[in-house]
Amino acid sequence: METVTVSDQKSKHVFDLMAEYGHEQLVQCYDKATGLKAIISIHSTVLGPSMGGTRMWNYANDEDAIVDALRLSRGMTYKSAIAGLNVGGGKAVLIGNTKTMKNEAYLRRFGKFIDSLHGKYVTACDVNITPYDLEYIYMETNFVTGLPETSGGSGSSSLITAYGTYMGIKAAAKKAYGSDHLKGKKVAVQGAGSVGMKLTEYLVKEGADVFITDIDEEKLKRASKELGAHVVGEPDIYDAPVDIYAPCALGATLNDDTISRLKCDIVAGAANNQLQDDQKHGDILMEKGILYAPDFLVNAGGIMAVAAEYFGEYKKEYLYQKAEKIYDICLHVLERAEAEKQNTQKIAMRMAEERITAMGNLRKTL
Ligand code: NAD
C-alpha cells in the first residue's frame, strides 16, 4: 500500500499499474443523462467481496481519478486482510463537483452500475459521500453498507475508528514502555475531527495530556473547553515535545520534512496513508527509534463496522470487542518487526499478504 502521489503514477499505463498492484478489475461507468462518471476498482476478491467506500472528488483529469481508485482499493485489501475480515479490497470514485452534480438520479444511476457487478463490489461512505447519499444508492442495489442508523445501518464509523485507534496507541505504548497505561503520557493529536475528538476523549479519560491542532478554530475551542486538551498551532504539532504523535487529519504527514522534527517515541493515529513513502519513511522512522503503528491496521475499526453491517452481524458490543483485537494484532506486528529487523509497515503488509495467500489456498479445496 505505497503512498504514491498521483503524478508519480499517472504516466504509467493503466494495465501496467494494475499488474504492478495486482488488481482484478477496473470498471468505468458513464451516464449522459446525469453526467455520472464513475470508476470502480476491484483490487481483490480472494477473501470475499471487494469492499470500500465511494469518494466523490473534482479530479483534475480522469487519470488522477483512476490512479486514486487503484491505489485506494489496494489499500482496502490490506486493511481488511490484516483486520481478519472476510472481505476483499475495492473502492469507487465519482468524478465531479459534489455541490452541482450529486442528486438522487445521479446516485441511483451509480447504484445501478454497482448492482450490475452482482456483489463483486460493495460500497460505503468516503469523502463527500454520506450515509444519506448511500440511501439513494441502496434504492438500486443491496451491495451497500454503512447506511444511517435510522435505516438500520451502522451509521458513522468514526466512533469505532477512534476506539480502534486508541487500542493501537495502547499496543504501541505496551511495546515501547512495557505498559499500556497512558496516564501522564503527552499525546499530540493532529485533527480535531470526528475521530480526533473521540480519540482525545478516550486519552483524556485515561489521564493523558493531549495537545491538539486543527485548521478549524471552532473545533479547537471545543477540544479545549469540553475535553481540556491544550491547543497547538497547526505547523507546530511536529515539534511538540510529546511521547506519542497521533495523525488524525491528513495523509503523507510522515515525510522528509516532518520526521526529523518529531520528538516522540510512537506514531499511531487514524489518518490514511501517513507515510509519504512506505519503504523510505518506514525505514527512517525505524532508524530514528520511533515506533510506528501501521495506519491501515490502527484505523480498521471503520471497515470492521461496515463489514459487520453487511454480513448482518452488527451489534455495538460485539463490534467494540472486535475493535479491541486491533491491540493484539498491532502488538504482534510490532514484535515481529523487531524480531525481523524490518519496518512495521512492511511487516503489517506482509502479514496481510500471508493471510490472503493462505485463505486463497484454502479456497482451492473442499
Ligand atoms: P474529519 O473530516 O471529521 O476530521 C479531519 C479534521 O482534520 C478536520 O477537523 C479538519 O479541519 C482537520 N484538518 C485538515 N487539515 C488539517 C491540517 N493541516 N492540520 C490539522 N488539522 C487539519 O475526518 P475523520 O472522520 O475524523 O477522519 C480523520 C482521518 O482518519 C482521515 O484521514 C480519515 O481518512 C481517516 N479515517 C477515518 C475513518 C472514519 O471512520 N472516520 C476510518 C479510517 C480512516
State percent of the chain over pLDDT 90: 93
**Is the whole model's pTM more than 0.85, yes or no?**
yes
Cα separation, 313 vs 308, in Å, equals: 5
Q: Which of 10, 37, 79, 91 is an active site residue? A: 91
Tens digits of residue pLDDT in 117-176? 999 999 999 999 999 999 999 999 999 999 999 999 998 899 999 999 999 999 999 999
User: What secondary structure letter does DSSP report for 229?
Assistant: P
**Confidence check: pLDDT of 185 > 90:** yes
Could you tell me if the CB of 156 is within 6 A of ligand 1?
A: no
CA-proximal residue: ligand 1, atom 3 (nearest): 193
Q: How many CB atoms lie within 10 A of CB 183?
A: 9
Please indicate whether residue 174 is annotated as part of the active site: no
Tens digits of residue pLDDT in 18-56? 999 999 999 999 999 999 999 999 999 999 999 999 999
167 closest CA partner among 177, 180, 156, 178: 180
When pLDDT is cut at 50, 70 and 90, the band that residue 5 belongs to is very low
| Ligand 1 mutation pick, 156, 161, 169, max ligand atoms within 8 A of CB | 161
Which domains does the chain show, CATH number per domain? 12-73+89-151 (3.40.50.10860), 158-300+326-353 (3.40.50.720)
